[in-house]
Amino acid sequence: MTKQWVVYLSGEIHSDWRERIQTGAQVADLNVEFVAPITDHAKSDDCGASILGAEDNSFWHDKKASGINAIRTRTAIERADIVVVRFGDQYRQWNAAFDAGYAVAKGKSIITLHEPELNHALKEIDGAANAACQTPEQVVAILGYVMGGG
Amino acid sequence: MTKQWVVYLSGEIHSDWRERIQTGAQVADLNVEFVAPITDHAKSDDCGASILGAEDNSFWHDKKASGINAIRTRTAIERADIVVVRFGDQYRQWNAAFDAGYAVAKGKSIITLHEPELNHALKEIDGAANAACQTPEQVVAILGYVMGGG
Amino acid sequence: MTKQWVVYLSGEIHSDWRERIQTGAQVADLNVEFVAPITDHAKSDDCGASILGAEDNSFWHDKKASGINAIRTRTAIERADIVVVRFGDQYRQWNAAFDAGYAVAKGKSIITLHEPELNHALKEIDGAANAACQTPEQVVAILGYVMGGG
Amino acid sequence: MTKQWVVYLSGEIHSDWRERIQTGAQVADLNVEFVAPITDHAKSDDCGASILGAEDNSFWHDKKASGINAIRTRTAIERADIVVVRFGDQYRQWNAAFDAGYAVAKGKSIITLHEPELNHALKEIDGAANAACQTPEQVVAILGYVMGGG
Amino acid sequence: MTKQWVVYLSGEIHSDWRERIQTGAQVADLNVEFVAPITDHAKSDDCGASILGAEDNSFWHDKKASGINAIRTRTAIERADIVVVRFGDQYRQWNAAFDAGYAVAKGKSIITLHEPELNHALKEIDGAANAACQTPEQVVAILGYVMGGG
Amino acid sequence: MTKQWVVYLSGEIHSDWRERIQTGAQVADLNVEFVAPITDHAKSDDCGASILGAEDNSFWHDKKASGINAIRTRTAIERADIVVVRFGDQYRQWNAAFDAGYAVAKGKSIITLHEPELNHALKEIDGAANAACQTPEQVVAILGYVMGGG
Amino acid sequence: MTKQWVVYLSGEIHSDWRERIQTGAQVADLNVEFVAPITDHAKSDDCGASILGAEDNSFWHDKKASGINAIRTRTAIERADIVVVRFGDQYRQWNAAFDAGYAVAKGKSIITLHEPELNHALKEIDGAANAACQTPEQVVAILGYVMGGG
Amino acid sequence: MTKQWVVYLSGEIHSDWRERIQTGAQVADLNVEFVAPITDHAKSDDCGASILGAEDNSFWHDKKASGINAIRTRTAIERADIVVVRFGDQYRQWNAAFDAGYAVAKGKSIITLHEPELNHALKEIDGAANAACQTPEQVVAILGYVMGGG
């Protein structure tokens, strides 16, 4: 399976897990295109207001942003073979769980990435996933295995 | 639109929001079948182990339960015209966010129900929803409106 | 084909075309459930604000309403075998054209209903329709024909 | 997300909005393939008659044209990641609204482009859109944001 | 499988094959709803002109009729569990072959019904069918078997 | 979830597992319609030849039968909410594994039923299943749980 | 729309219509990949027997061939943007009508190609087509128009 | 049809059938990308444990592996035009039968490959296949025929 795979990296934006996966895949010489949401927190929150005009009400400020971010997210999931969903311990990351549900309904393969402390809270999503990882390196190992020759 | 509608009530299981919606719909004489996950917390957590046998490892204990609960959840979403997703303030309810993503991908209408304090954290899910409510009575009012004559 | 058909009546809300179709179908003893958007103009425009709270900005006033009305519209189209799309001469009725496009993509049969003066402006929608009618009575005649024995 | 995106530009053909978007995307060095309907008004209206033979009846003249134009439109929407729908103030552009409905049902992201005067008349389509723009430059900014790194 | 099955009887309208199947199913007490196109040849040909107005050009006369007949045909195939496609020896019945292709793409089960003389000409359609019958009684026997207990 | 569920019982036909599940569901007063393939082995093998005529070549004898049996199987899976797949120890039951793959691709919930000795050989199918049972009584318990209140 | 289009040429194999379309497209410098069934009549009829072994019974001889030919046909339709369906006057070409029905159900654009003498017999297929042509040159003109700039 | 075809080779991993097909296709200069599951038996069985950690219970050892292997399998089937399913005489290969069912439901073309001794046991899968082969060389011949010019 030498053709390029597309892997969408959904979820937490405050740690270096994406870089560790991307670096690991590069070291392992895997033919992957990684896609991701916009990970600049401020830009992601304010994209609607900065492009389409400011809103007094924070609900509509957020609505404008979420509509635009969804263009990127949905397109990325549609293109992806695999969706990796990362849950950190600081934020609720409901959007990552939403992405996971959306991706499962679209028939995509799912890999979760989180600490074992979150196992119980994430049991439905782990239950729908192909694999539940604790480290980015495990994700890279899975990519290497499924894309490679063994 | 006099035929019965099916409404799936996803999310928080520790408050009386489902009862308030169901009572309100009954008072308003709406022709709705409400469906829901198993809301007995202990039974929901232990259904796998109690039916299929105990597990030492809590991860597999949860896996057995989530597989069985998914039978009910997926069937309910498949049958539903509308999915109401409730987020409380105490738990992360990633499964509710997962249900929302799954339901959106299946083309279902979504209504969220949560306190305004959660607006920012839930902006992607509210962004994909048809309506964001703060009280069960608002949900009932929407059901009455869309099913009725006004 | 004695089972009930579902027919969605989309579009203009300021004339009696729906009543004429429904009365005609009743006279012809056709087994049809007719579904429709909320046709009370004020209620349809204000449903969002009246249920979920007022908005200063008319754009968000409309956004709240359109989200709720879409619950009814999408559910109705999903259930329908046939979508009748009515264009009057006074309003632009872009929502009727939107419904027509949505319904065609979902594989529904389409019947348009409009004056011949609109033929050229509606050529793409007539082109995608199974039949282009000028009177409600023609719509009834088509329903009688396709549901009946001739 | 370095791969090429496909953006379909639907609607008004009597102003330079397409050129402004395309020029803006070029200046911003975005990797987009823009697709569009045939925008030569006369050719678009007469393609059926000129290729397949003239018709006395203008309804059939239009039918022949709309069938052929639909080949291009449907193929373009099918290929598109994003559909931009432009409404001007002079024509009814029901075909643009039809395209929008069709694209939403196919799961495409939608961006509308129109003057605020049309907000109320377009509320259902804006309600289904990811973003509602007033200038072509805003569309370009959204493309730059969702395709880029921020 | 005691619930009602829906069987669409497509094709030839100049022999009594539909009656023989329906009578046979009644004798065998099978719980089937049979659906069919309009089998009154003149009405089927002229439904467009008689409802929507006459056409000088026979091509458009036919176009009006085929659009209306397709409402019935597509709805019937959509509802059907099984599509029986009958080919007689006198006419080309391209519409029956079209129905068969449409039904296969929609995942319906197909039973063909024709004389062995047509085997070679119909090899692609027989190849896509679940069973190729020569008599209406064989069709009834298959219905009795698949619906019953043996 | 008081509406009837449909459960398809696929696989082994030489033991009483179907009866045990059906009796158990009746005792538990579950609102289920059970559907199944024709379980009379001889009739199932010979249905093609007996209805459509004998074949010298056993491959075509089987082909005629499998086409007819597939009408029942596909219709049953299409209607089912849950597919229970039973593997016994005597036969290979590739058709049951085929049904499982077909049902998973159609988004159905899967329950497997087999002895633990077969765990390793069935690991891919168990991996795609919501639950892996060893006794019919466990299947009944799962049905009671997912359909009921706990 | 500068990317390559895929056009499937279905139907009659005893005249030079494919060559005329392909030559015309080449002259017009259109970026099309044309796909087609195997048009060597004897090879197409005998491919099953020659690869998989001879059959005494012509029905099974044909069955073997139609299964193999369907691999090519279905793959080609799946890839195609447009399906051109040619009906000649000598054969019944039910397979072309079957392809047309299959392609319509898959959402492909359809162009028919036949003499006006066949108009009435082909009215259902013409009714589902985007354009009905009488000459290969008209097909080329349509391709040039929908792919080009006008 | 000069573009590359994708062929997934599912099933038996203890004989050289894949090599024979691949070599044959190379000799015939066919433009095919062959994809396959991981065929190193030990690695395939242990991939879950070796990447994600050991399990005492062999059921969960297998569960971890099957989830990861399914990422590769599902992606491969999704990409494939044709799925070749090989059944040997030593193992039950239920996963191959599962792949076949999954692929048929996804609309893929199927070619089976097995000894005639297995004909009766595999009759449902052969019944759903486009061709049933006994040698890898027959598979190559079919690929050459459907991809080539005859």
Q: What is the pLDDT of residues C39-66, one digit of tens each?
A: 999 999 999 999 999 999 999 999 999 9
pLDDT at residue B91, as a whole number: 80
When pLDDT is averaged across residues B129-140 and rounded to a whole number, the result is 98
Size of interface D-G (CB pairs under 8 A): 58
- Taking an 8 Å cut-off on Cβ atoms, the answer to whether B75 and F5 are in contact is yes
- Taking an 8 Å cut-off on Cβ atoms, the answer to whether G99 and E95 are in contact is no
**Tally of CB atoms within 10 A around B107:** 12
Rounded-to-integer distance, Cα E132 and Cα F68, Å = 10
Chain B residues in contact with C48 (beta carbon < 8 A): 131
When pLDDT is averaged across residues H5-33 and rounded to a whole number, the result is 96
For residues A85 and A113, the answer to whether their CB atoms sit within 8 Å is yes
Chain E residues in contact with C116 (beta carbon < 8 A): none
Question: What's the gap in Å between the CA of D129 and the closest CA on chain A?
Answer: 8
When pLDDT is averaged across residues C73-87 and rounded to a whole number, the result is 98
- Taking an 8 Å cut-off on Cβ atoms, the answer to whether B133 and C52 are in contact is yes
Strands G131-133 and H131-133: unpaired
Handedness of CA A10, A13, A17, A21 (dihedral sign): positive
**Which helix (H) or strand (E) covers residue A71, if one does?**
helix A58-79
Q: Which of G10, G72, G81 has the most H C-beta neighbours within 10 Å, making it the best mutation to test the interface with H?
A: G72
Chains that touch B (3 or more CB pairs under 8 A): A, C, F, H
End-to-end CA distance of chain F: 12
Q: Which of C60, C63, C64, C66 has the most A C-beta neighbours within 10 Å, making it the best mutation to test the interface with A?
A: C60
**Quick check: do A and H touch, 3+ CB pairs under 8 A?**
yes
Rounded-to-integer distance, Cα C96 and Cα C85, Å = 6
Strands, sheet with D131-133, edge to edge from the N-terminal-most edge strand: D32-35, D5-11, D82-86, D109-113, D131-133
**Quick check: do E and B touch, 3+ CB pairs under 8 A?**
no
Q: Which band of pLDDT confidence, cut at 50, 70 and 90, is reported for residue G136? A: very high
Torsion of CA D70, D74, D75, D79, to 10 degrees: 160
Q: Which residue has the higher pLDDT, G139 or A3?
A: G139
- Taking an 8 Å cut-off on Cβ atoms, the answer to whether G109 and D75 are in contact is yes
Nearest Cα residue in chain A from H4: A3
Chain E residues in contact with G104 (beta carbon < 8 A): 98, 101-102
Q: What is the pLDDT of residues B87-106, one digit of tens each?
A: 998 888 999 999 999 999 99
**Quick check: do C and F touch, 3+ CB pairs under 8 A?**
no
pLDDT at residue H149, as a whole number: 61
Nearest Cα residue to B129 out of B102, B100, B105: B100
pLDDT at residue E122, as a whole number: 97
Rounded-to-integer distance, Cα A38 and Cα B51, Å = 44
- Which residues, given as ranges, of chain F have pLDDT below 70? 149-150
For residues C144 and C30, the answer to whether their CB atoms sit within 8 Å is yes
- Taking an 8 Å cut-off on Cβ atoms, the answer to whether B126 and A66 are in contact is yes
- Which residues, given as ranges, of chain E have pLDDT below 50? 150
The percentage of residues in chain B with a pLDDT greater than 70, rounded to a whole number, is 99
Pick from F33, F52, F72: which is nearest to E133 by CB? F52
Chain D residues in contact with A48 (beta carbon < 8 A): 131
Q: Can you read off the two tokens belonging to residue A47?
A: 């994209």
> Any bridge partners for residue C33, and if so which?
C6
C97 close contact with D: CB closer than 8 A: yes
Pick from D58, D69, D124: which is nearest to C119 by CB? D58
Handedness of CA E114, E116, E120, E121 (dihedral sign): negative
**Quick check: do F and D touch, 3+ CB pairs under 8 A?**
no
Phi, psi torsion values for C8, nearest 5 degrees: -95, 130
Q: Which band of pLDDT confidence, cut at 50, 70 and 90, is reported for residue G149? A: low
Q: Which band of pLDDT confidence, cut at 50, 70 and 90, is reported for residue C149? A: low
Chain E residues in contact with F33 (beta carbon < 8 A): 2-3
Size of interface C-D (CB pairs under 8 A): 123
Please state the separation of Cα H4 from the chain's center in Å: 18
Pick from B67, B91, B106: which is nearest to A105 by CB? B106
Question: What's the gap in Å between the CA of D1 and the closest CA on chain A?
Answer: 6
Question: What's the gap in Å between the CA of D109 and the closest CA on chain A?
Answer: 6
Chain D residues in contact with C102 (beta carbon < 8 A): 101-102, 104-105
Chains that touch C (3 or more CB pairs under 8 A): A, B, D, E
Encoded amino acid at G86, one letter? R
pLDDT at residue H2, as a whole number: 73
Pick from C109, C133, C149: which is nearest to E71 by CB? C109
**Chain D residues 122-141 with CB within 8 Å of chain C:** 122-128, 132
**Quick check: do A and G touch, 3+ CB pairs under 8 A?**
no
The percentage of residues in chain A with a pLDDT greater than 70, rounded to a whole number, is 98
Three-class DSSP labels, chain F: CCCCEEEEEEECCCCCHHHHHHHHHHHCCCCEEEECCCCCHHHHHHHHHHHHCCCCCHHHHHHHHHHHHHHHHHHHHHHCCEEEEECCCCCCCHHHHHHHHHHHHCCCEEEEECCHHHCCCCHHHHHHCCEEECCHHHHHHHHHHHHCCC
**Chain B residues 48-77 with CB within 8 Å of chain H:** 57, 60, 63
pLDDT at residue A150, as a whole number: 43
Pick from C1, C107, C138: which is nearest to E52 by CB? C138
- Regarding pTM above 0.90, the answer is yes
pLDDT at residue C150, as a whole number: 43
Chain B residues in contact with A66 (beta carbon < 8 A): 123-124, 126-128
Strands, sheet with C109-113, edge to edge from the N-terminal-most edge strand: C32-35, C5-11, C82-86, C109-113, C131-133
Question: What's the gap in Å between the CA of F126 and the closest CA on chain H?
Answer: 8
- Taking an 8 Å cut-off on Cβ atoms, the answer to whether F82 and B71 are in contact is yes
Nearest Cα residue in chain E from D61: E60
Q: What is the pLDDT of residues E6-24, one digit of tens each?
A: 999 999 998 999 999 999 9
- Taking an 8 Å cut-off on Cβ atoms, the answer to whether C3 and E33 are in contact is yes
D150 pLDDT more than 50: no
Q: What is the pLDDT of residues E49-74, one digit of tens each?
A: 999 999 999 999 999 999 999 999 99
pLDDT at residue F149, as a whole number: 61
Q: How many residues does this entry show for chain A?
A: 150
Q: Which of G130, G140, G143 has the most D C-beta neighbours within 10 Å, making it the best mutation to test the interface with D?
A: G130
For residues H45 and H64, the answer to whether their CB atoms sit within 8 Å is no
H121 pLDDT more than 80: yes
pLDDT at residue H150, as a whole number: 43
H73 pLDDT more than 50: yes
